[in-house]
Structure 1
Amino acid sequence: MKKHTSSEALLLLEDGTVFKGKSLGRIGTSGGELCFNTGMTGYQEIFTDPSYFGQLVVTTVSHVGNYGVQPEEVESGRLQISGLVCKEFSTFFSRGTAEGSLQEYFEKAGVVGICEIDTRALVRHIRDKGAMNGIVSSETTDVDLLRKKLAEIPSMAGLELASKVSTPEVYGFAPEEVKYKVAVLDLGVKQNSLRNLVARGCEVKVFPYNTSFEEMEQWNPDGYFVSNGPGDPAATTVAVNSVKQMLAKEKPMFGICMGHQMLAQANGIATYKMHNGHRGLNQPVKNLLTGRSEITSQNHGFVVDAEQLRNHPEVEVTHINLNDNTIEGIRMKTKPAFSVQYHPESSPGPHDSVYLFDDFIALLEKSKIK
């Protein structure tokens, strides 16, 4: 295995804070919104999750790269992150099934990063100051030059990004025995969501984010799945209109993450940008319908407005976050539609919430009997 030689690298934050470290991945410059993930494992799934498109990911775990990479652990067709910020970056890996190092993986994909910085200090800083943009460079340490480039990076607020990660053309999967047909509106879908649907007897057809409802309905699906994805949900207006039409059709609908926010927006409920999002594998959520709590995998920087939900005539809260009481799940009172803010498909993460796919299947079955 070729040994990677690190060069000097620099991380500049929007508020002027500078961190100096060593390069990882490709030599270059890259920027985006800084966000931290508290997961202890699953870095390849995180880096290929389309919901992270346009973001610099800070990993709070001490070592990254130590078990290499392999094809089975990707959640999309490419690396999605703008760059990586970490403490210790391992160019060597110990897992026998791995097909290469994370360094080689990043080099091939052109991903820039920085390591050997105090990530605890960085996380405390952006936790207190709030989410902000940053820029990483391993090709220049000229702060004035990087400040100019950083100023050109747009804020995540108001940014529509589903168009950057959605499939350009329709594709699908089917189990040996098809029980239901599910149309997937791809705002940045993770592959494990599709696997969970197929494993439960669903033939899935995945449609681009801007596909008209009429085109999806021509396939005559039994229900609709609206996926996770990056960007500001308030700017993803094409998908909001599609969800409104899905609700009018009254076929079962299940939304995850961005799909959850689309269901809220379709009912006139606003979303807003959080001071810091929820990103990690250990977020505690309470199911208000059962009284049970579950540990969840999450990745979001926007949330549904709880005040607007409080007295809504058509929508009720089903799940809340036990750390900050933000909305984690909703359902329609008179229509077969529900959604959650977190990731029940996990990958990575605990499987406490996988029952939600079974709940969706139950809605599909009930609808077919009617």
Structure 2
Amino acid sequence: MTSTITSTITQDALLVLEDGRTFAGEAYGAVGHCVGEAVFSTGMTGYQETLTDPSYHGQVVVQTAPHIGNTGINDEDGESRRIWVSGYVVRDPSPRPSSWRSRRALGDELEAQGVVGISGVDTRALTRHLRERGAMRAGVFSGPDAARPVEELVNVVRMAPKMAGSALAEEVSTDHEYVVQALGDKRFTVAAIDLGIKSMTPTRLAERGIEVHVLPATATIDDVLAAQPDGVFFSNGPGDPATADTQVELLREVLQRRLPFFGICFGNQLLGRALGFGTYKLGYGHRGINQPVIDRATGKVEITAHNHGFAVDAPREGEASTPFGRARVSHVCLNDDVVEGLECLDVPAFSVQYHPEAAAGPHDAGYLFDRFVELMSSSATTRKGA
């Protein structure tokens, strides 16, 4: 999950998978080599948000859409302070951006941030391979590195850490607390644990009158309580949820105190663990902005934005008994029946596996932020009544 770079010129490049399959192309972005987990994203738009999503830390991202870079890079749509992907794989990069919002070309931005990429790849064939064999470690080698013997490059790839067992959330988290002010009249205060948070998430909360205190992934219950929160939020993030024991213990303390809780993506997996469920690695995960999910409470189907390679192993039907009372699966993916949401019935907590902030993506799931507001309102009323 590291990369080395030199200067960029038009050079040959090679994508090498851990099972020995290779794909030839041209250098795109920085020249050198990188390794990580090869995954594919099906979004037709939103590549800038994908690149800057901290959940992609440690991954070599394959874009299934053939034309990438058409709208360049602007200064408004980034979801974090930098590009997080380990490597980038595209078929046909745009030779020049055409959007009035663009400030620079995508290839130039990749080079400036030291991201090694490859273009000219048959991404359809590559995606089919990953769907059949599963997400696996990969390396992109360009310039002089691409001329090394393939057997040697395969060995480099196989020496890279596997995503299963990787603890990455603390690597992408903020190292200090910061506050996103509420827009308009302040209604609530939320302590948000940054496990790889996207900038649009605090924005969506702030739009609803919430002052958001964003805390590092290493935050303790004392740090959370110091914000005097009306609710607690756990964000998306990279890595294996089985490694996040510290954050799971924090969440259990939140649940014990009956603080209203909302989690997304990694936060959903950690709620599952806090409730006593297991987690497991998906074959190739869900990534993109077109995943159908059903909300079992309403029967409505949402088209949602996803980025996860792990899932919660919870019973799909009925109610389960947990250390915090009853819980049930609230949302399910219609493609493969993967658990996409959890709801606690005896403590004020719920979570979803997808990204309701929709950056990029559809806005079908925006109501979940309103549901969190309602949960905090109900909890506040209950406390006053007591």
User: Which residue of structure 1 aligns with residue 21 of structure 2?
Assistant: 17
Q: Deviations over 1:287-315 (max 9, x none)?
A: 10001111001010001113488652121
How far apart, in 2, do the equivalents of 1:207 and 1:152 lie? Answer: 34
**CA separation in 2, counterparts of 1:107 and 1:271?**
36
Question: CA offsets per residue over residues 332-368 of structure 1, 9 Å max, x none?
Answer: 1101100000001111110000000000001111122
Counterpart amino acid of residue 269 in structure 1? F
- Amino acid corresponding to residue 60 of structure 2 in structure 1: L
- Helix, strand or coil: the match of 1:297? strand
Give me the whole-angstrom Cα distance separating, in 2, the residues matched to 1:108 and 1:202.
Answer: 36
Aligned counterpart, 1:199:
207
Change (3 A) 1:154 1:309: farther
Distance in 1 between residues matched to 2:247 and 2:374, nearest whole Å = 25
Aligned to 2:371: 359
Partner of 1:330: 342
Note if contact 2:293-2:304 (Cα within 8 Å) is conserved in structure 1: yes
Tell me the CA shift for residue 129 of structure 1.
0.5
Give 5+ residue unaligned stretches, structure 1.
none
Relative to structure 1, the CA distance from residue 282 to residue 308 in structure 2 (aligned partners, 3 Å threshold; closer, same or farther) is: closer
Letter paired with 1:146: L
Asked whether the equivalents of residues 306 and 326 of structure 1 are also in contact (C-alpha less than 8 Å), the reply is no
Do structure 1's residue 223 and structure 2's residue 240 form an aligned pair? no
Name which of structure 1's ranges 96-105 and 54-63 shifts more when overlaid on structure 2: 96-105
- The match for 1:344 is 356
Structure-2 residue corresponding to 1:124:
128
> Residue 31 of structure 1 aligns with which residue?
35
Q: Check if 1:51 corresponds to 2:49.
A: no
Counterpart position of 1:149 = 156
The correspondence of residues 172-251 of structure 1 with structure 2, limited to 5 A, is: 172-175=179-182, 176-251=184-259
Q: Aligned partners of 1:48, 1:237: CA distance in 2, in Å?
A: 26
The equivalent position to 2:271 in structure 1, one of 240, 263, 272, is: 263
Name the CA distance, whole Å, in 2 between partners of 1:83 and 1:170: 30
Cα shift at 1:148: 2.8
Once the two structures are TM-superposed, the CA of residue 91 in structure 1 deviates from its matched residue by 3.6
CA deviation map 1:67-114 (0-9, x unaligned): 101111111111010011110112410011211110111111000001
What is the aligned length?
A: 367
Separation of aligned partners in 2, 1:250 and 1:198: 23
Q: 2:26 aligns to what SS in structure 1? A: strand
Are the aligned partners of 2:317 and 2:328 in contact in 1 as well (CA < 8 Å)? yes
Partners of 1:37 and 1:60 within 8 A in 2 = yes
Give the match's secondary structure for 1:268. Answer: coil
Q: Distance in 1 between matches of 2:55 and 2:318?
A: 28
1:140-178 CA distances to partner (integer Å, 9 max, x unpaired)? 221233223212211000111001100011111112421
Decide whether the 8 Å contact of 1:64 with 1:86 is kept in 2.
Answer: yes
Aligned residues of 1:247 and 1:335 also touching (Cα < 8 A)? yes
Separation in 2, partners of 1:311, 1:204: 32
Cα deviation for residue 325 of structure 1 reads: 0.8
Letter in 2 for 1:101: A
Answer yes or no: is the 8 Å Cα contact 2:42–2:287 preserved in 1: yes
Shift of 1:193: 0.7
Aligned residue for 1:189, secondary structure, equals: coil
Report the counterpart of residue 65 of structure 1 in structure 2: 69
Conserved 8 A contact 2:49-2:359: yes
Task: Output aligned runs, 1:297-336, within 5 Å.
Answer: 297-307=305-315, 312-313=320-321, 314-336=326-348
Q: Please tell me the root mean square deviation across aligned C-alpha atoms, in Å.
A: 1.2
Query: In the aligned structure 1, how far is the partner of 2:316 from the partner of 2:171?
Result: 30
CA contact (8 A) 2:316 2:339 kept: no
Matched residue of 1:72: which SS? Answer: coil
User: Using the alignment, how far apart are the partners of 1:217 and 1:356 within structure 2?
Assistant: 24
2:86 maps to amino acid: S
Q: TM-score, normalised by structure 1?
A: 0.97
- Amino acid across the alignment from 1:165: V
Contact map agreement 2:13 2:141 (CA 8 A) in 1: yes
Separation in 1 of the partners of 2:306 and 2:316?
A: 23
Runs of 5+ in structure 2 lacking a partner?
1-7
What amino acid sits opposite 1:172 in the alignment?
V
Task: Check conservation: 2:28, 2:118, Cα contact below 8 A.
Answer: yes
In 2: Cα distance, 1:5 partner to 1:309 partner? 56
- Summarize deviations over 1:247-269 as a string: whole Å, max 9, x none: 00101100000000010000110
Cα contact 1:309–1:315 (8 A) shared by 2 = no
User: One-letter code of the match for 2:283?
Assistant: H
Partners of 1:267 and 1:244 in 2: CA distance: 8
Q: Give aligned-pair identity as a percent.
A: 45
Q: Does the C-alpha gap of structure 1 residues 323 and 308 become closer, same or farther in structure 2, counting only changes over 3 Å?
A: closer
Distance, in Å, in 1 between the alignment partners of 2:168 and 2:316 is 25
